[in-house]
Amino acid sequence: MLKLILCVCLAGASSLARAEPLTFDATLQIATRASPEIAEQGARVAAARSASIAAGRLPDPRLAVGIENLPVTGSERWSLTQDFMTMRKVGMMQDIPNRAKREAQTAAAFAAVGQAQAERRVSILTVRRNAAVAWLERYYLERRGKVLDELARENDLFSAAVQAQFAAGRGTPADIVAPRQEAADIADRRDELSGEIAGAKAMLKRWVGAAGDEPLAGEPPPMTLDVEELRGHVHEHPDLAVFVPMTQMAQAQVREAQAAKRPDWGVELAYGRRGSAFSDMVTLEFTLGLPIFPGTRQDPGIAAKREELVRVEAAREAMFRDHTQRLEADLAEYTVLTSQLARLRTEHLPLAREKVEAQLISYRAGKGDLAAVLSARRELIDERLKEVELDGRRATQAARLYYFYGAGAAEVTAADVPAAEIPAAEEKVP
């Protein structure tokens, strides 16, 4: 029994130790560390690095073993030693592609490493942005829950006031029912909100795993947006940075296709052993490729690679325009939300509170009916919930801008892959 009690206590302590509130910064750290998308891109970077080691190097030598000039007729047929031309041969052959082709292959491999690194940075950027939005959406949904709790407490006080009015001989029995109806309406809203919070938790768990079930802690960080700076740096977006190594790769492939017009060569060194009555032989042979039909072989390949380069440059321009349009649309929405939130706080909410107070005074003085009070209270409830909703939409929109175009995007750098590890494309090929 003692052992059982100790096990239960230890299990409880362990679960308490694991339950840590989830802050905004912790969310970004966990999402970056545990994301399968980032792990996938990391594997691509490692694969591209490994592939770049062999790029531009000479192909493996070939071993040649055989018999030359073996007689198949006459008295010496199938003899390896009687005819002076017959010999058993062993040799090594080495193909040597031209230097320009190997340098282009090296440049393409290094560009592939750069592209994988750039795509990994885009993956980190996307994961951090989505995790930030998921945290904020859950945070503001839970804030709406707190507003509903506060409204429920206010409704209890309001119900007591109505009962006191009825006990003093004012109002009708139906007035006592009205606050209970309002309480049921608030409960319905809370149930709907519970479903939305469950969905927000599921989305947060998509990015941070089991930590998404933990209670949230802290406030959202301030995200300062400089509109002109965002517009001025859209061309530096990590999505567009991917096209730098893509362009370098396309250029290297053009050079490699052009290098196919230059001849490749090879060398073979062989040793031939003949019969004991004859001397052994050594053979040294050179081969040279003859690209003599460029119009039907090399030139079409060069044209294809040049068109690929044009395609990459056009794709970059299309993405730049897409990002510019998306940034302007997001900024417009952010501006609208900011304006609506400010107006709601300075005009709609004070007016709704003033209306409720005026209706309550009239009701207590016996000059107004309860229906007008309830109508004013529902308007105030809607305005208070709308405030939290607008505040949340504005915060998530700010996060999308901040972590996709602003300072949050600039935080995603190549620090995890030092530039010194990537040789320059012009480095001499061994």
> Mind listing the pLDDT tens digit for each residue in 252-288?
999 999 999 999 999 999 999 998 889 999 999 999 9
pLDDT of residue 204: 95
CATH number at residue 389: 1.20.1600.10
- 419-428: pLDDT as tens digits: 334 343 344 4
Question: Which residues neighbour 53 within 8 Å (Cβ) at sequence distance 6 or greater?
Answer: none
In a domain, 44, yes or no: yes
SS3 string of the chain? CHHHHHHHHHHHHHHHHHCCCECHHHHHHHHHHHCHHHHHHHHHHHHHHHHHHHCCCCCCCEEEEEEECCCCCCCCCCCCCCCCCCEEEEEEEEEECCHHHHHHHHHHHHHHHHHHHHHHHHHHHHHHHHHHHHHHHHHHHHHHHHHHHHHHHHHHHHHHHHHHHHHCCCCCHHHHHHHHHHHHHHHHHHHHHHHHHHHHHHHHHHHHHHHHHCCECCCCCCCCCCHHHHHHCHHHCHHHHCHHHHHHHHHHHHHHHHHCCCCCEEEEEEEEECCCCCCCEEEEEEEECCCCCCCCCHHHHHHHHHHHHHHHHHHHHHHHHHHHHHHHHHHHHHHHHHHHHHHHHHHHHHHHHHHHHHHHHHHHCCCCCHHHHHHHHHHHHHHHHHHHHHHHHHHHHHHHHHCCCCHHHHCCCCCCCCHHHCCCCCCCCC
pLDDT of residue 411: 67
Please state whether the predicted TM-score (pTM) of the whole model is above 0.95.
no
> Do 244 and 115 form a contact (C-beta atoms < 8 A)?
no
Question: Averaged over 18-37, what is the pLDDT?
Answer: 88
Question: Averaged over 223-235, what is the pLDDT?
Answer: 86
- 78-137: pLDDT as tens digits: 998 888 899 999 999 999 999 999 999 999 999 999 999 999 999 999 999 999 999 999
User: What letter represents residue 333's amino acid?
Assistant: E
In a domain, 11, yes or no: no
Most confident listed range (179-188, 391-400, 403-412): 391-400
In a domain, 243, yes or no: yes
Q: What percent of the chain has pLDDT over 70?
A: 89
Specify the range with the lowest mean pLDDT, choosing from 174-183, 202-211, 408-417. 408-417
Task: Map tokens 């290098």 to a residue.
Answer: 259
pLDDT of residue 170: 66
In a domain, 39, yes or no: yes
In a domain, 266, yes or no: no
> Do 38 and 29 form a contact (C-beta atoms < 8 A)?
no
Strand partners, 87: 68
In a domain, 366, yes or no: yes
With vertex at residue 28, the alpha carbon angle to CA 227 and CA 196, rounded to the nearest 5 degrees, is 90
In a domain, 104, yes or no: yes
Task: Map tokens 């073996």 to a residue.
Answer: 70
In a domain, 156, yes or no: yes
Per the prediction, the chain carries an average pLDDT of 86
Specify the number of domains making up the chain.
Answer: 1
pLDDT of residue 3: 54
Domain assignment of residue 323, given as a range: 23-58+97-260+297-413
